[in-house]
């Protein structure tokens, strides 16, 4: 066997499993979901049959007539906007802090990476007990103030869950941002320093352009996932999260977890409807981000 | 080998060595629990590892293996080995795995029977259900132990059985009898709703209206229940506790139990059969709580088209009002009762530990399996605080549901089995084992096995059977109260073979039927709604339930009756 054939064989063997997995668990699953949106369950025969656009039109009508879907929709947008507006810039800032090797950089590295390294369920439990037991306990012991935990209190639960999600997201963001920042040629930074470029200008004109593709990827992915992000609500509340915090992704997840075969088509139709909504927005964001953005040579 | 490669090689070998550990973790636990005996035929049984545990199954296993020690099902093998695999996986997630697992007989809950049937996952066990169990010394068949409602549901098209009910799950309010006795928390036999001052005093007749029964002195009406709670608070006791983690589903099941007890078996079953005359359907409830009956004394015929009217039942309003009052008074329960950090294991533990700690909690919202589930905790508490808190010396009981008004005192008790539990055989079982599996299922339903189940778990199976006096004496105080209630109550099995129900079993299941539309806003959980704001009340919630269900009825279920 020639070297070229060996390489090809190696390539085929190496790539076949991921491709197969992609075909089954992405293409297959999504195609099936898409198909389900146009089917209904026949109880008598125990099988699905095509029903055209009935499910979609029912869900469309439901969307405008029910508070739950609308509420989930707007909560999802709210969560996305807040986490993106707060989390992405802060991640950039922390990453720059670590990249520039400022004091306590290792502390920040550990503190911000840790939630991503530990299992999500473990961090949820730690956070849950911290805000539900430790903080009210301390408030009572230290100040004699009786308070309800933030996650159980309807007035504070949205903020408490939001804080957790923002904090939890730092690890992933920072890992990739710092990686991208490290690809900046040190001589460019040194030359900038000799020319008296301030930290802010260095960030904006030297570092940010390097991480901009990563930044764009995160932003586009976050837009694409607006209506599937369940905001860690299932880990905190099981299927009993209140309307205050319920996102669309959570709603879909919760109803799917208890649904029977007959109920899948409606859920699939909700998913398809949201996909139709989010596709143009995602493409638009990707297009706009490609058009704008910092230039590396404008120092 | 150079250094980096050596490191990689060592790492790879280390990883490879740990693989079996992970794989062992992924394999069915049956493989590791008992050594396979190659001289016997194995029957693999999966049991849901929940509140009822698996002790009962191990007890059956011992007797069955002994009884079948000389049977031959495979050449060269003699006897049967029951391989038990406890699994924390309910019927909803099991449905996609039944045919892939090595298990052959299943005991599980939350099993949507007809879903499994449509997927051809269940073996036809008609002969095992209908045959008299003479081979085990009994003159009855399993079918003889089923109620009419159960037969119409489990006997598909009135012809074939593919599964049988397993245990019964009743949700209600539990109470600590020792605490009730110590603080004399019983109503006196007077007309002024006063409490007894010592246990020798005559107690009131309780909700069953009969003197000399186990419910004497217990609250007979909703009003008395709250008088009792106020009295407990006055004495410095905490009246009740429930898990904050799942407060909605825990309390909703009890709201449903109150509703069932208020309207009775026949009216309750309309929610599943959609056939019959519904009575006491209310018009909108006014702000002052007054209302009129929408269809007068006569009531209205319910079909699948208008079954949303059942959400305007007076019983629903009564039970919602009860729980509004309970939730709104924060002195009745610990503040953690609405905290997601207060787990379903915390509330029974606190309930148990509250007495030795000197801060008694009197009642607990739970299911009838809770004592069995907490056996280890009770033992730990007894070991730590003293044997007066052991299972043998503890006295817990399931409280009979108080009546919504004095006129209903003495009305039969109605309880709801919420668990959708099922015993079945996988359709993919090897043909040579089918008879064996059926006989095992029958063996589990003999009077002796049923009694053994009850004595072991202090709960009941969802079948009709009696305990002997000797067996009854072996039950804990709590077990006796569960058994007594099971025997004397009408039991709602919340299902039917009606097409609308079967097509939407989860949307119509107990925990999914509390939706309401208040103004333009939908709410799914009344308890969360009452807790959210003091101004939120049962009247608005109840009125909104009819609106919510009217609006969803055609949209969700319309395809079944258009």
Distance CA B154, CA A148 (A): 47
Closest approach of B314 to chain A, Cα-based (Å): 26
* Residue B463 is assigned to a structural domain of this protein: yes
Closest approach of A297 to chain B, Cα-based (Å): 39
Q: Which CATH class is domain A67-291?
A: mainly alpha
Do both B147 and B191 map to the same domain? no
Q: How many domains does chain B have?
A: 4
* Residue B525 is assigned to a structural domain of this protein: yes
| Partner residue facing B506 (CB), from A132, A151, A260 | A260
Closest Cα to residue A249, out of A269, A225, A265, A266? Answer: A225
Interchain proximity B555–A58, CB inside 8 Å: yes
Do both B49 and B110 map to the same domain? yes
pLDDT in tens, A204-251: 888 999 899 999 999 999 999 999 998 999 999 988 898 889 999 999
pLDDT in tens, A81-132: 999 889 999 999 999 999 988 888 888 888 888 888 888 889 999 999 999 9
The residue out of B492, B515, B534 marking a domain boundary is B492
Q: Which residues on A lie below 8 Å from B246 (Cβ)?
A: 238, 240
Distance CA B240, CA B228 (A): 11
Please check whether residue B112 touches A, CB under 8 A: yes
The ipTM is 0.80
* In chain A, where the domains are located: 67-291
Please check whether residue B118 touches A, CB under 8 A: yes
pLDDT at residue A184 greater than cutoff 60: yes
The residue out of B435, B470, B492 marking a domain boundary is B492
Distance CA B456, CA B450 (A): 10
Do both B346 and B240 map to the same domain? yes
Q: Where are the beta strands (DSSP E) in chain A?
A: 39-42, 47-50
Q: What is the 3-state secondary structure (H, E, C) of B245-311?
A: CCHHHHHHHHHHHHHHHHHCHHHHHHHHHCCEEECCEECCCCCCCCCCECCCCCCEEECCCCHHHHH
Specify which residues A48 forms β-bridges with.
A41
Residue with tokens 């109503």: B187
Closest approach of A36 to chain B, Cα-based (Å): 16
Put simply, the chain B residues between 32 and 91 with a CB less than 8 A from any chain A CB are: none
Do both B390 and B430 map to the same domain? no
Percent of chain B beyond pLDDT 90?
Answer: 81
Neighbouring residues of A78: CB distance < 8 A, sequence distance ≥ 6? none
Region B374-391: mean pLDDT is: 96
Specify which residues B301 forms β-bridges with.
B277
| Partner residue facing A263 (CB), from B341, B506, B560 | B506
Do both B294 and B319 map to the same domain? yes
Sheet of strand B396-398: strand arrangement: B238-241, B361-367, B171-176, B396-398
Q: Structure tokens of B66?
A: 């002994």
Q: Which residues on A lie below 8 Å from B528 (Cβ)?
A: 240, 242
The residue out of B413, B434, B450 marking a domain boundary is B413
Q: Helical H runs in B119-185?
A: 126-130, 148-154, 177-182
Do both B156 and B7 map to the same domain? no
* Residue B498 is assigned to a structural domain of this protein: no
Structural domain boundaries, residue B384: 171-247+335-413
Region B7-35: mean pLDDT is: 53
The secondary element (H helix, E strand) that includes residue B316 is: helix B314-328
DSSP for residue B411 = P
pLDDT in tens, B184-231: 999 999 989 999 999 999 999 999 999 999 999 999 999 999 999 999
**Banded pLDDT at A256 (limits 50, 70, 90):** confident
Do both B241 and B278 map to the same domain? no
Please check whether residue B522 touches A, CB under 8 A: yes
Closest approach of B118 to chain A, Cα-based (Å): 5
* Residue B109 is assigned to a structural domain of this protein: yes
Do both B176 and B292 map to the same domain? no
Do both B390 and B488 map to the same domain? no
CB B495 within 8 A of CB B501: yes
CA B287 to chain centre: 35
pLDDT at residue B157 greater than cutoff 50: yes
pLDDT at residue B135 greater than cutoff 70: yes
Whole-angstrom Cα Rg for chain B: 26
Do both B397 and B479 map to the same domain? no
Closest Cα to residue A180, out of A232, A143, A216, A227? Answer: A216
- The predicted structure's pLDDT at residue A295: 61
- The predicted structure's pLDDT at residue B34: 85
pLDDT in tens, B410-469: 999 999 998 999 999 999 999 999 999 999 999 999 999 999 999 999 999 999 999 999
Interchain proximity A154–B531, CB inside 8 Å: yes
pTM of this structure: 0.87
Interchain proximity B504–A263, CB inside 8 Å: yes
Q: Which residues on B lie below 8 Å from A47 (Cβ)?
A: 118
**Banded pLDDT at B30 (limits 50, 70, 90):** very low
Put simply, the chain B residues between 472 and 501 with a CB less than 8 A from any chain A CB are: 499
- The predicted structure's pLDDT at residue B23: 46
Do both B218 and B359 map to the same domain? yes
- The predicted structure's pLDDT at residue B7: 59
Region B120-128: mean pLDDT is: 97
The secondary element (H helix, E strand) that includes residue B518 is: strand B516-518
- The predicted structure's pLDDT at residue B14: 60
- The predicted structure's pLDDT at residue B500: 87
Do both B349 and B379 map to the same domain? yes
Interchain proximity A67–B559, CB inside 8 Å: no
């Amino acid at each position: 066997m020639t070297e070229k054939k060996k390489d090809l064989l190696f390539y085929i063997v190496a790539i076949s499993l991921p491709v197969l997995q992609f075909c089954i668990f992405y293409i297959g699953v999504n195609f099936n979901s898409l198909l389900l949106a146009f089917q209904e369950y026949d109880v008598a025969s125990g099988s699905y049959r095509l029903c055209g656009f009935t499910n979609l039109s029912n869900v469309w009508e439901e969307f405008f007539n029910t508070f739950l879907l609308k509420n989930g929709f707007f909560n999802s947008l709210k969560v996305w906007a807040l986490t993106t507006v707060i989390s992405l810039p802060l991640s950039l800032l922390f990453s720059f802090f670590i990249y520039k090797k400022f004091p306590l950089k290792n502390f920040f590295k550990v503190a911000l990476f840790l939630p991503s390294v530990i299992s999500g369920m473990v961090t949820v439990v730690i956070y849950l007990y911290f805000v539900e037991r430790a903080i009210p306990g301390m408030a009572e012991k230290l100040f004699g103030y009786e308070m309800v935990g933030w996650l159980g209190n309807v007035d504070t639960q949205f903020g408490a869950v939001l804080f957790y999600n923002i904090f939890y997201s730092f690890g992933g963001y920072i890992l990739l941002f710092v990686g991208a920042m490290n690809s900046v040629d040190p001589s460019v930074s040194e030359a900038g320093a000799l020319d008296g470029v301030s930290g802010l200008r260095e960030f904006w004109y030297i570092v940010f352009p390097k991480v901009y593709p990563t930044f764009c990827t995160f932003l586009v992915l976050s837009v694409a996932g607006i209506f599937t992000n369940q905001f860690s609500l299932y880990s905190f509340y099981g299927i009993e999260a209140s309307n205050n915090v319920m996102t669309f992704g959570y709603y879909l997840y919760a109803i799917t977890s208890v649904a029977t075969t007959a109920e899948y088509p409606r859920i699939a139709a909700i998913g398809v409807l949201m996909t139709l909504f989010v596709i143009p927005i995602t493409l638009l964001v990707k297009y706009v981000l490609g058009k704008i953005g910092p230039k590396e040579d404008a120092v | 080998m150079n250094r980096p490669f050596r490191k990689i090689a060592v790492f790879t070998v280390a990883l490879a060595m740990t693989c079996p550990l992970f794989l062992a973790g992924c394999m069915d636990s049956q493989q590791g629990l008992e050594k396979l005996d190659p001289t016997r035929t194995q029957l693999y049984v999966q049991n849901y590892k929940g509140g009822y545990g698996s002790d009962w199954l191990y007890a059956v296993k011992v007797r069955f293996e002994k009884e079948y020690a000389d049977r031959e099902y495979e050449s060269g093998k003699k006897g049967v080995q029951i391989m038990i695999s406890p699994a924390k996986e309910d019927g909803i997630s099991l449905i996609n795995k039944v045919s892939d697992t090595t298990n052959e007989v299943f005991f599980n809950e939350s099993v949507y029977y007809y879903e499994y049937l449509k997927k051809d996952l269940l073996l036809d066990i008609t002969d095992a259900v209908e045959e008299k169990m003479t081979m085990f010394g009994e003159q009855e068949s399993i079918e003889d132990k089923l109620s009419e409602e159960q037969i119409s549901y489990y006997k598909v098209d009135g012809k074939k059985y593919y599964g049988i009910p397993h245990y019964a799950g009743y949700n209600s309010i539990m109470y600590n009898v020792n605490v009730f006795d110590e603080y004399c928390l019983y109503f006196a036999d007077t007309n002024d709703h006063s409490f007894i001052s010592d246990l020798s005093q005559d107690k009131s007749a309780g909700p069953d209206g009969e003197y000399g029964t186990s419910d004497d002195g217990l609250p007979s009406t909703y009003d008395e229940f709250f008088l009792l709670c106020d009295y407990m608070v006055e004495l410095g006791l905490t009246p009740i506790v429930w898990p904050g983690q799942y407060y909605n589903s825990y309390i909703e099941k009890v709201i449903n139990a109150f509703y069932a007890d208020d309207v009775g078996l026949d009216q309750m079953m309309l929610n599943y059969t959609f056939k019959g005359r519904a009575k006491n359907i209310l018009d909108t409830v006014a702000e002052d709580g007054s209302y009129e009956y929408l269809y007068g004394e006569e009531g209205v015929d319910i079909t699948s088209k208008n079954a949303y009217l059942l959400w305007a039942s007076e019983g629903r309003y009564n039970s919602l009002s009860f729980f509004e009052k309970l939730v709104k008074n924060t002195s009745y329960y610990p503040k953690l009762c609405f905290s997601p950090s207060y787990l379903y294991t915390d509330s029974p533990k606190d309930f148990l530990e509250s007495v030795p700690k000197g801060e008694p909690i009197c009642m607990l919202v739970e299911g009838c399996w809770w004592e069995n589930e907490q056996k280890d905790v009770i033992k730990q508490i007894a070991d730590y605080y003293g044997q007066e808190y052991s299972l043998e010396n503890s006295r817990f009981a399931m409280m009979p549901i108080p009546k919504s008004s004095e006129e209903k005192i003495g009305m039969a008790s109605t309880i709801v089995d919420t668990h959708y539990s099922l015993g079945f055989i996988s359709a993919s079982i090897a043909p040579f084992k089918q008879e064996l599996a059926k006989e095992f299922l029958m063996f589990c339903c003999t009077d002796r096995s049923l009694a053994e189940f009850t004595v072991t778990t202090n709960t009941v199976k969802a079948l009709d059977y009696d305990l002997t006096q000797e067996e009854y004496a072996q039950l804990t105080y709590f077990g006796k109260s569960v058994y007594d209630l099971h025997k004397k109550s009408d039991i709602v099995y919340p299902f039917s073979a009606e097409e609308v129900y079967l097509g939407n079993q989860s949307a119509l299941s107990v925990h999914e039927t509390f939706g309401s539309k208040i103004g333009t806003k939908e709410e799914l959980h009344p308890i969360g709604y009452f807790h959210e704001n003091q101004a939120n009340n049962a009247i608005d919630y109840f009125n909104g339930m009819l609106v919510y269900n009217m609006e969803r009825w055609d949209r969700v279920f319309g395809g079944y009756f258009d």
